[in-house]
Amino acid sequence: MGETYIADGSRYETMTYKRCGKSGLLLPAISLGLWHNFGFTDNYNNSREILRAAFDQGITHFDLANNYGPPAGSAEEVFGSILKKDFASYRDEMIITSKAGYDMWDGPYGEWGSRKYLVASLNQSLKRMGIEYVDIFYSHRFDPETPLEETMMALDHIVKSGKALYAGISNYSSEQTAEAIQILNKLGTPCLIHQSRYSMMDRMVEDGLLDMLEMNGVGFVAYSPLAQGVLTDRYLKGIPSGSRASKAHFLKPEQITPELIASISKLNELALQRGQTLAQMATAWLLRDKRVTSVIVGVSSVQQLNDNIDTLNNISFSKEEEEKIFSIINEL
């Protein structure tokens, strides 16, 4: 991997780019998340190969947060190191995000939504990644104890200080989002984007949030679109070693029940009939909704990445396919 990286000259020919709400920013339909597989405990060359393969195929959007690793912070350091080696001349072609909200350092200023925490955390993230600004900075979760005005004023300050180009929120409810959008509009830093969990297995955002974002011209990115790997063929024959469920941290083996696998098998058969893998069908299912700007996938190999990018060859569903899928996922 020592050789100089030169990005593939055809990288913008096949990826689909979608406008993020009513902003000027286009995001790739498939984005790459660095929550897993980019920490100090992961294989550096594998992380580097994944990033190169993603960028070579038009993925311009890389999703990070202060706490990604493990250990927390290490995904940003690994990303920063690869950025310096491979992507230094491509920085203006990249959308790099970070977030603050979850537990990051000791004491009363290391989590949640105070101005103190958000500004200090972003400064740390910029240092770890070796960059002067992030493209999008998110409040990672709503803080019930801090006035929402303070958290939004911190985002506004961060954008106006040039340390982030856009402001976003993540894991906020519809009501909290509506209020945040209003405050940010008043401050003159519109909310660019909302990031939430969304998959065939978790459809909470369909209960009002997606409509509200569309009405306000705010984009939406879905995270964990494959339910951390459950909505793929990964667990159809048990729990493979090295898989996320085998690590039993964020996805527990006991969540992979025989009943769940029976439903996943049915979805898998439908996907195969469509000429797709289940991972592709699960991502296509989200992208068929025009309110979804982008889907952030996580991958542990270049092979998974390529499989996910090929989703874009078929993201439409017949009425009959939709009915069959709803009859399965409504029971999940």
Ligand X SMILES: NC(=O)c1ccc[n+]([C@@H]2O[C@H](COP(=O)([O-])OP(=O)(O)OC[C@H]3O[C@@H](n4cnc5c(N)ncnc54)[C@H](OP(=O)(O)O)[C@@H]3O)[C@@H](O)[C@H]2O)c1
Question: Which residues contribute to the site for ligand X (CB under 6 A)?
Answer: 33-36, 63, 140, 170-171, 195, 223-229, 232, 234, 243-244, 279, 296-300, 304, 307-308
* Smaller CB separation from ligand X, 9 or 126: 126
CA neighbor of 112 nearest in space, from 137, 152, 142 = 142
Nearest-approach distance from CB 308 to ligand X, in angstroms? 5
CA neighbor of 281 nearest in space, from 301, 311, 252 = 311
CA neighbor of 63 nearest in space, from 101, 21, 95 = 95
Task: Give the burial class of 308: count Cβ atoms within 10 A of its Cβ; 0-12 exposed, 13-18 middle, 19 or more buried.
Answer: buried
* Smaller CB separation from ligand X, 47 or 114: 47
* Smaller CB separation from ligand X, 121 or 224: 224
* Smaller CB separation from ligand X, 62 or 87: 62
Cα–Cα dist 262/292, whole Å: 28
Cα–Cα dist 244/37, whole Å: 10
* Smaller CB separation from ligand X, 2 or 144: 144
CA neighbor of 286 nearest in space, from 223, 199, 171 = 199
Nearest-approach distance from CB 203 to ligand X, in angstroms? 14
Nearest-approach distance from CB 38 to ligand X, in angstroms? 8
Nearest-approach distance from CB 46 to ligand X, in angstroms? 11
Cα–Cα dist 308/283, whole Å: 8
Nearest-approach distance from CB 9 to ligand X, in angstroms? 26
